[in-house]
Structure 1
Amino acid sequence: IIAVKRIKFKKEFDNNILFQLLSFTTNSVIIILTPQLGPIILEKVLSVQDVGYYSAAFKIPAILYQFPGIIATAFYPKLFSLGNENNVYEHRKMSSLELQLMTILGAILALPFILNAKYWIVTLLGEKYLPAVGALVILSYLVFTQAVKFPLADFLTTSNRQWQRTIVMLSGLIISILGYIYLGRYFGVSGGALAPVLADVIMIIGCLFFIPNGFKFLWTNTAMIIFNFIIAIVSYKLLFTQFHPLIGITIAELIFIGLIVLTNKESKNILNLVFLKFKKN
């Protein structure tokens, strides 16, 4: 009663709250629906056993690619503020920071499972799930592509291009469904694992078409990170496969982080911020 007396209720309704509500809702439904599609569709084209292997492999990246999404939400207030102010330069600068940070994080999270998926399958699930190793390797790249896709999609959302993002996401959903059907049918579990990765790549390209100078934006912020990511993978395959998996993976991760520090000043500053944050916590 006290609260009601102190709160002033307005009779008029602010219609701005409904601005692009349909596109936001559609986009949210797609995000929720997409991870559930794999087992549902693949059960129509694969055996129950193969669907089980896919589901087992998908559990690990499904958890990991949530972390970049959590990081992305920290950028929303500033990005929306800059977008509403139509501050194009600062919005693009902040989006660049988000893209670099999340690409680095995606690479760090994906590397252990790309480098030695067999070790993690046996350790976490047991040897009976060894047929899922190939699927886990492919799906681990999903962690990386998601980390790249999130900032690009956020760029659209926070710069009044939500409908464009929805179009891209719908296109990705359709490609994902077709990929599960046809790739799963012809290439089995590995084909099913390739479907969401392919859809993510298509969505990344789609976002770039709607971002001003999008391809230059992506190249400038991620080219060196991706190059260092590849070097870390190749280094492990050539030099560290004879080591214990945890030792070899740790060395490869350190190589990647070391290359980031050496080759990219902005990325070095980003890593320093991350380490300082963890140190405080």
Structure 2
Amino acid sequence: MGKKNVFINVVYLLFSHVFIRLFTALAAIAVARYLGAEQYGMIGIGVALIGISNYFTDLGVSQTLIREATKEQADLSLLLSGYIKTRMVLTLVTAIILLVMIEAVYQNELLRQVLYYMVVPSLFGSALQGIGNTYFQVIQKMKYTALLTSVSGVITASTFYVGIVCTLPLQVLASVYGISSLIGGLLSIAMVLKRSPLRRGWDRSILQGVLYFSLGGLAVILLPQLGPIILEQVGTIEQVGYFVAAYRIPAVFLAIPGIVASAFYPLLFQYGNRAEDQEKHLSLGIVQVKLMSFFGIGSGVVLFLFADWWIFLLFGAGWEAAADILRVLSLLISLQAITIPLADSLTTKGYQKRRAVLLSVSVIFSLSTYVTLGHSWGGIGAGMAAIINELFLLVAFSCANPVGWRLIWGGTKVNVLASGMVLLLASLGLTKLHPLSGIPLLLLLYVLLVLSMDASLRKMIQTKFREKRAKQKTSSFT
């Protein structure tokens, strides 16, 4: 296992997640245009509940499985059997609690129906998919994770398109979402059990330290879902619709840094488990921050500069209120591309307790900001709350890690400088260009600036290019 495997897995995951995320996002946008802001807001609340409830089917055992499985002489088959059993028990308990909560909290009958049809099947489907994704992440076979993601995404998006063409009602579309997730989950668990059948016994090591992984992971899941849930309580469902619609666009771009992070995770754990590899851990962490911030900052710039065009292109007339929300949320991509690797560095170095405490504090902090700003400014206020919380996490993670500020400086200095130059040039008139020419021009300028200023990145690309050329020459003589 090494950096070469990391980059191969990044390629697999980028190919599947980005294109499939784009495909499903376009399907969701089509659903938004078909349903309108209010009914799409109900879908958004359902998606938020799915995101939160899914975590209770895991409670951090996926991360502890990766931690234990990357240790020398680990019995992966026994670890996996205990992991699957644990997740199935958690899923069943979560489903029962969720049904009671929906009945008690939501009074709107249509909204309740949507939540029943969406959330419960998706709960089991996502848990099963999570088992497959974690297993293939552990064995560094991301092509299978890519396959699972692709199949599930295509099924969901295709059935959405069919539902729109057939003018199906909201309740049926919600059922389509849940059943599609369940089909993807069944496929996932079948692929896992084919390679590693269940064994008797239970390796309790996956439960060691799981409390802090649970707290930290719960906060990670809660934070992006708080906006729709709290906004529904302090504002209107229509405002939820605008916020969810605006968030849908950066969510596609957020997939890129998230994919990069998942590919680095096992190797970071391997270096973090050994005291003699701490410099390797720091070096790999800087590469992770550099790649993730490169994608995140570049994506954030083009969304910020052309927010009105993106909203009109994807949602059409009547959704103008989402443009300013998107402009605020564009900064979220850039910030999360930095905070995610900072958090991973803490976890893989054995500082999970610090990460969990800081994330728990951020949930409490964000609750107050979402309520205050969401009540005052609706969807824009919710976007501002998300940005304020991400800034808090960036500073907190950096202070909690002995090498936190070295990670930020080493990984972001060139990307931040290049993006600043692009924004300066854009302010001088480049934004007057049509987006179809302005966006590619600004992205090309950003890439060229980064490559011209970052000698280590140029060297990395040149090395990979030479290795590929050498392999081609070798294969031509055989």
- For normalisation by structure 2, the TM-score amounts to 0.53
Q: Residues 236 and 249 of structure 1 are in contact (CA less than 8 Å); yes or no, is this contact kept in structure 2? A: no
Provide the C-alpha distance between the structure 2 equivalents of 1:183 and 1:224, rounded to a whole number of angstroms.
33
1:143-183: per-residue Cα shift (whole Å, max 9, x none)? 11111111100100100011111112112222221111111
Is 1:223 the counterpart of 2:416? The answer is: no
Equivalent in the alignment of 2:219: 30
SS at match of 1:75: helix
AA aligned to 1:62 is A
Equivalent in the alignment of 1:252: 442
Equivalent in the alignment of 1:206: 396
Equivalent in the alignment of 1:165: 355
Is 1:85 the counterpart of 2:274? The answer is: yes
Equivalent in the alignment of 1:63: 252
TM alignment of 1:62-211, pairs within 5 A: 62-86=251-275, 87-211=277-401
Q: 1:51 aligns with which of 216, 240, 247?
A: 240
Deviates more, 1:265-274 or 1:23-32: 265-274
Equivalent in the alignment of 1:20: 209
SS at match of 2:350: coil
Q: Residues 53 and 189 of structure 1 are in contact (CA less than 8 Å); yes or no, is this contact kept in structure 2? A: yes
Q: Residues 115 and 237 of structure 1 are in contact (CA less than 8 Å); yes or no, is this contact kept in structure 2? A: no
Provide the C-alpha distance between the structure 2 equivalents of 1:51 and 1:17, rounded to a whole number of angstroms.
38
Q: How many residues are aligned here?
A: 271
Instruction: Name the CA shift for 1:164/1:272 in 2 (closer, same or farther; >3 Å).
Output: farther
Higher RCO (CA < 8 A, seq sep 6+)? 1
Provide the C-alpha distance between the structure 2 equivalents of 1:84 and 1:127, rounded to a whole number of angstroms.
54
Q: Residues 246 and 326 of structure 2 are in contact (CA less than 8 Å); yes or no, is this contact kept in structure 1? A: yes
Q: Residues 226 and 367 of structure 2 are in contact (CA less than 8 Å); yes or no, is this contact kept in structure 1? A: yes
Equivalent in the alignment of 2:423: 233
Provide the C-alpha distance between the structure 2 equivalents of 1:134 and 1:275, rounded to a whole number of angstroms.
42
Deviates more, 1:125-134 or 1:50-59: 50-59
AA aligned to 1:160 is G
Instruction: Name the CA shift for 1:177/1:270 in 2 (closer, same or farther; >3 Å).
Output: farther
Provide the C-alpha distance between the structure 2 equivalents of 1:187 and 1:64, rounded to a whole number of angstroms.
25
Provide the C-alpha distance between the structure 2 equivalents of 1:275 and 1:59, rounded to a whole number of angstroms.
35
Provide the C-alpha distance between the structure 2 equivalents of 1:10 and 1:115, rounded to a whole number of angstroms.
57
Q: Residues 268 and 284 of structure 2 are in contact (CA less than 8 Å); yes or no, is this contact kept in structure 1? A: yes
1:66-118: per-residue Cα shift (whole Å, max 9, x none)? 22111111111211111111221111111011011100011222222111011
Instruction: Name the CA shift for 1:213/1:244 in 2 (closer, same or farther; >3 Å).
Output: same
Provide the C-alpha distance between the structure 2 equivalents of 1:275 and 1:149, rounded to a whole number of angstroms.
30
**Structure 2 regions of 5+ residues with no counterpart?**
1-196, 468-478
Instruction: Name the CA shift for 1:123/1:103 in 2 (closer, same or farther; >3 Å).
Output: same
Provide the C-alpha distance between the structure 2 equivalents of 1:253 and 1:84, rounded to a whole number of angstroms.
38
SS at match of 1:127: coil
Provide the C-alpha distance between the structure 2 equivalents of 1:135 and 1:224, rounded to a whole number of angstroms.
28
AA aligned to 1:183 is L
Instruction: Name the CA shift for 1:137/1:268 in 2 (closer, same or farther; >3 Å).
Output: farther
Q: Residues 24 and 162 of structure 1 are in contact (CA less than 8 Å); yes or no, is this contact kept in structure 2? A: yes
1:48-77: per-residue Cα shift (whole Å, max 9, x none)? 332221121111122321221111111112
Instruction: Name the CA shift for 1:221/1:234 in 2 (closer, same or farther; >3 Å).
Output: same
Q: Could you say which structure has the larger radius of gyration?
A: 2
Aligned identity (percent) is 32
Provide the C-alpha distance between the structure 2 equivalents of 1:153 and 1:211, rounded to a whole number of angstroms.
9
Per the TM alignment, residue 132 of structure 1 is displaced from its structure 2 partner at its CA by 1.0
Per the TM alignment, residue 264 of structure 1 is displaced from its structure 2 partner at its CA by 1.2
Provide the C-alpha distance between the structure 1 equivalents of 2:233 and 2:246, rounded to a whole number of angstroms.
18
Provide the C-alpha distance between the structure 1 equivalents of 2:464 and 2:250, rounded to a whole number of angstroms.
22
AA aligned to 1:65 is L
Q: 1:262 aligns with which of 443, 452, 468?
A: 452
Equivalent in the alignment of 1:3: none
For the aligned residues, what is the CA RMSD? 2.5
AA aligned to 1:69 is G
Instruction: Name the CA shift for 1:26/1:215 in 2 (closer, same or farther; >3 Å).
Output: same
Per the TM alignment, residue 271 of structure 1 is displaced from its structure 2 partner at its CA by 5.7
